């Protein structure tokens, strides 16, 4: 297969990339690892006339921890983040979810920023970003702005990025004491996009759940949170009954899509089961335990 003709260019810094996007942002596709973009180009679903490779820009490939945040550059490879002790220590939920991103051969090329900018609703990294209230850093030739993850994913494969903006990185809050997370998804085969999945994050205080966040993939046109279920968990003692009741609430909040892979009803049911399991694991981890994760 051959993609439609384009010209290839390489940015040597974030500023250089932003300057190139300012010329004619609509004609340019930003190339990270290309694991979503290049299939679309090979199938001619995407036909950019300019391809801007940002993976050689050193300032986009850094992982840095400062002031309670972990910042991951857009061009950091998923495998590099997966292997990073900094990521595992500061954002363990992301570390766990990365193992479910396609296959290692894909993660060796695919980037953190690319997955978020592509915004597939069944993808892991966007869902973790939404669940942890990460911030997305976007830059154009005039400056940099910060976009809250909840304002970033607008609809299917559509984000708040403007045509002249480059996603330069993600800023995650560092997991604090008393917090725990769990990522669970169901896929037909290992490495496939999830039929549905959940990222759970809880903070415990005095034996109760101080706050909980539940993020879903494969449950709609974007990654989604379940605000009513989260509110129901706040302040309660973490018990199996509390998890089951939150799971039922989350099921009510979600209206997952019907497609050839699974019906909406099936996805909703699985979302409930996964919510219960993820909450149990997240709470156990918040207590410092090392629970076994029930395999799907």
Partner 1 sequence: MTQVSMTVNGALCEVDVEDRRLLADVLREELGLTGTKLGCSHGVCGSCTVHVDGEPVRSCLRFAVQAEGCAIRTVEGLAGEDGELHPVQAAFWEAHGLQCGFCTPGFLMTAAKLAESGAPIDEDAARDLISGNICRCTGYSSIAQAVVAAARALQAADPAPAP
* Nearest CA among 101, 61, 54 for reference residue 80: 61
Torsion of Cα atoms, 106 then 110 then 92 then 220, to 10° = -90
| Bridge partners, residue 66, by sequence | 69
- Span interacting with partner 1, options 33-41, 65-73, 165-173, 229-237, rule CB under 8 A: 33-41
Q: Which of 23, 24, 26, 39 binds partner 1 (CB under 8 A)?
A: 39
Picking from 200, 218, 203, the residue whose alpha carbon sits closest to that of residue 257 is 218
Among 18, 21, 51, 194, binds partner 1 (CB under 8 A): 51
Query: What minimum distance in Å lies between the beta carbon of 197 and partner 1?
Result: 17
Residues 1, 67, 176, 290: which binds partner 1 (CB under 8 A)?
A: 1
x/- string (CB under 8 A) for partner 1, residues 78-97? -x------------------
Name which position in 34, 169, 180, 181 contacts partner 1 (CB under 8 A): 34
Which residue's structure tokens are 């209206």? Answer: 255
Among 16-24, 101-109, 150-158, 262-270, which window interacts with partner 1 (CB under 8 A)?
A: 101-109
Residue 4 interacting with partner 1 (CB under 8 A)? yes
Q: Using only C-alpha atoms, what is the Rg of the chain?
A: 19
- Cβ 131 to partner 1, closest distance in Å? 25
Of 16, 22, 46, 53, the one binding partner 1 (CB under 8 A) is: 53
The first and second tokens of residue 224, run together, are: 């989604």
CA gap 23, 13 in Å, rounded: 16
Residues binding partner 1: number (CB under 8 A): 30
Number of H helices, E strands in the chain: 12, 14
In the list 5, 85, 206, 207, the residue contacting partner 1 (rule: CB under 8 A) is 5
CB 113 within 8 A of CB 185: no
Instruction: Give the nearest distance from C-beta 155 to partner 1 in angstroms.
Output: 24
Is there a contact between 222 and 149 (Cβ–Cβ < 8 Å)?
A: no
Query: Is residue 127 a contact point for partner 1 (CB under 8 A)?
Result: no
Among 38, 88, 157, 236, binds partner 1 (CB under 8 A): 38
Q: Are strands 63-66 and 69-73 parallel, antiparallel or unpaired?
A: antiparallel
Residue 25: phi and psi, rounded to 5, are -55, -35
Q: List the interface residues with partner 1, window 184-213 (CB under 8 A).
A: 189-191
Between CA 229 and CA 8 the distance in angstroms is: 47
> Is 177 a residue that touches partner 1 (CB under 8 A)?
no
- Of these, 62, 104, 142, 287, which contacts partner 1 (CB under 8 A)? 104
Q: How far, rounded to the nearest angstrom, does the alpha carbon of residue 222 sit from its chain's CA centroid?
A: 11
Residues within the interface to partner 1 (CB under 8 A): 1-8, 31, 33-35, 38-39, 42-43, 51, 53, 55, 79, 102-106, 108-109, 189-191
């Amino acid at each position: 297969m051959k993609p439609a003709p384009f010209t290839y260019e390489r940015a040597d810094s974030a500023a250089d990339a932003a300057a190139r996007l300012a010329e004619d942002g609509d004609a340019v596709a930003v190339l990270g690892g290309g694991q979503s973009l290049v299939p679309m180009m090979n199938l001619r679903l995407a036909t950019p006339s300019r391809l801007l490779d940002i993976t050689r820009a050193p300032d986009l490939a850094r992982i840095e921890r400062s002031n309670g945040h972990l910042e991951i550059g857009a061009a950091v490879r998923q495998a590099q983040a997966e292997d990073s002790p900094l990521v595992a220590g500061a954002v363990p939920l992301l570390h766990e979810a990365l193992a479910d991103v396609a296959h290692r051969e894909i993660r060796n090329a695919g980037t953190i920023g690319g997955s978020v900018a592509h915004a597939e609703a069944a993808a892991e990294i966007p869902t973790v970003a939404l669940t942890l209230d990460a911030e997305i850093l976007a830059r154009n030739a005039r400056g940099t702005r910060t976009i809250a993850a909840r304002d970033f994913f607008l609809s299917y494969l559509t984000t708040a990025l403007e045509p002249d903006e480059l996603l330069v990185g993600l800023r995650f809050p560092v997991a604090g004491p008393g917090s725990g997370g769990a990522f669970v998804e169901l896929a037909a085969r290992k490495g496939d996009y999830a039929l549905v999945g959940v990222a759970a994050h809880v903070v415990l205080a005095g034996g109760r759940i101080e706050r909980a966040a539940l993020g879903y993939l494969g449950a709609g046109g974007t990654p989604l949170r379940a605000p009513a279920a989260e509110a129901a968990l706040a302040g309660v003692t973490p018990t199996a009954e509390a998890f089951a009741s939150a799971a039922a609430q989350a099921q009510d909040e979600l209206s997952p899509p019907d497609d050839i892979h699974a019906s909406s009803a099936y996805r909703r049911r699985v979302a409930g089961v996964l919510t219960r399991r993820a909450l149990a694991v997240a709470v156990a981890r918040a207590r410092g335990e090392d629970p076994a994760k029930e395999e799907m």
